[in-house]
């Protein structure tokens, strides 16, 4: 029989309570993801205990920041703000000030000095796209080529830059990993892994004998180039298609996804697939045909789990997302197992 992948959903602390968790479990959710870029160590402990109190069998995953670049929190009380196409936006290195629609402060230092005029910049997995027009020391001036909604602490990708200078593990990561292990989290997924050494640096922070597994997120060019050695050091892979598309090009995402499937199958290690699996359901109550086909082919390819991200963390239809994904998975498995079409 074909392996039926588990459905995991990203939950945000501000919309997570025992009732909402129970509703998602009833819809078919088998696991929960908490993002340490938004959840503090204390929140990781609290939310993990809350999920366990509702359903002890739930898989719990926490992902770390790693060598990623993010905006700071938004100024004011707004959850998100509109960034308009054609607008000028300044990006400031190593900023600690809140971000605005005219000025994005990014958490990493030294990045802007590596940027060149004409480079493409994406924010929040391509929700907002910009082109660099001018570089001035620790800041760059950009023109928005695709407008969108800007939220707090969103990933920023400068296409063509390899961020070797950024540390594999940050102080925030260390605190998140310690809290995750203490709370009995099942999986730690480390972001922006570049080499086997990055995996080893995280492994050192997980006590020997711990049941917590370590997945490496494949989401940058260096990770694709070093996939075999990274997989050898990790317990599994998480193919994170959002930043992956921004770093290697959207046209290569499917090929990298298939390579992850083949490598994990050969190594006998699990693969999780994430990002924009049902992106249209951020605002619509049902998926597109293309999204349904995407999930079906992932099932056929042998993925072990499917991770919903923004769709359930901040989308309008989190429960429906889980229900629809379950229906697609079940229908695909019915056909692959018995040839049943209707």
Spot the catalytic one: 65, 154, 194, 217: 217
Q: What residue numbers bound the domain in which 95 lies?
A: 80-158
Supply the CATH number for residue 221's domain: 3.20.20.60
Last residue of a domain, one of 107, 129, 158: 158
The residue count for the chain: 342
Q: Are residues 114 and 208 in the same domain?
A: no
Q: Is residue 201 situated within a structural domain?
A: yes
Spot the catalytic one: 10, 16, 30, 33: 33
In the annotation, is 70 catalytic?
A: yes
Supply the CATH number for residue 93's domain: 2.40.33.10
In the annotation, is 314 catalytic?
A: no
User: What is d(CA 160, CA 165) in angstroms, rounded to the nearest whole number?
Assistant: 14
Last residue of a domain, one of 107, 130, 158: 158
Q: Are residues 105 and 139 in the same domain?
A: yes
Number of domains in the chain: 2
In the annotation, is 72 catalytic?
A: no
Buried b (16+ CB within 10 A) or exposed e, 6-40: bbbbbbbbeebeeeebeebbebbbbbbbbbbbbbe
Check residue 322 and give its pLDDT: 98
Spot the catalytic one: 30, 65, 70, 241: 70
Q: Is residue 1 situated within a structural domain?
A: no
Q: Is residue 73 situated within a structural domain?
A: no
Judge whether 230 and 196 are in contact, CB under 8 Å.
Answer: yes
pLDDT in tens, 277-299: 999 999 999 999 999 999 999 99
- The one-character DSSP state at 207 is P
In the annotation, is 269 catalytic?
A: no
Q: Are residues 14 and 56 in the same domain?
A: yes
Structure-token pair, residue 21? 């968790």
Q: Are residues 181 and 106 in the same domain?
A: no
pLDDT bucket at 14, cuts 50 / 70 / 90:
confident
> Comparing 7 with 12, which gets the higher pLDDT?
7
Q: Is residue 292 situated within a structural domain?
A: yes
Q: Are residues 125 and 251 in the same domain?
A: no
pLDDT in tens, 19-28: 999 999 999 9
């Amino acid at each position: 029989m074909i392996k039926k992948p588990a459905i995991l959903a990203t939950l945000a602390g501000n919309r997570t309570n025992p009732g909402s968790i129970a509703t998602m479990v009833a819809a078919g959710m088998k696991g929960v993801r908490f993002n340490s870029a938004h959840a503090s160590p204390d929140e990781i402990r609290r939310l993990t205990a809350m999920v366990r109190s509702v359903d002890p069998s739930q898989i719990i995953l926490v992902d770390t920041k790693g060598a990623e670049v993010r905006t700071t929190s938004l100024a004011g009380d707004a959850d998100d703000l509109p960034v308009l196409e054609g607008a000028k936006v300044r990006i400031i290195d190593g900023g600690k000030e809140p971000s605005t629609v005219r000025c994005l402060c990014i958490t990493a230092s030294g990045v802007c000095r590596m940027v060149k005029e004409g480079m493409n910049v994406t924010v929040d997995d391509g929700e907002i796209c910009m082109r660099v027009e001018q570089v001035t020391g620790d800041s760059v001036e950009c023109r928005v080529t695709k407008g969108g909604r800007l939220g707090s602490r969103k990933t920023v990708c400068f296409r063509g830059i390899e961020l070797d200078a950024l540390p594999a593990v940050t102080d925030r990561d260390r605190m998140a990993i310690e809290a995750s292990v203490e709370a009995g989290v099942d999986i730690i997924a480390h972001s922006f892994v570049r080499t086997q050494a990055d995996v080893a640096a995280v492994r050192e922070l997980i006590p020997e004998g711990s049941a917590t597994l370590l997945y490496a997120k494949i989401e940058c060019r260096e990770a694709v180039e070093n996939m075999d050695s990274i997989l050898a050091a990790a317990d599994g892979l998480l193919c994170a298609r959002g930043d992956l598309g921004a770093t290697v090009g959207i046209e290569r995402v499917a090929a990298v996804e298939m390579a992850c499937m083949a490598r994990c199958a050969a190594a006998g290690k699990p693969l999780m697939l994430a990002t924009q699996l049902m992106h249209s359901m951020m605002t619509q109550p049902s998926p597109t045909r293309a999204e349904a086909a995407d999930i079906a082919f992932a099932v056929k390819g042998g993925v072990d789990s499917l991770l919903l991200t923004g769709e359930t963390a901040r989308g309008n239809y989190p429960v429906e997302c889980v229900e629809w994904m379950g229906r697609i998975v079940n229908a695909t498995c019915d056909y692959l197992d018995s040839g049943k079409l209707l």
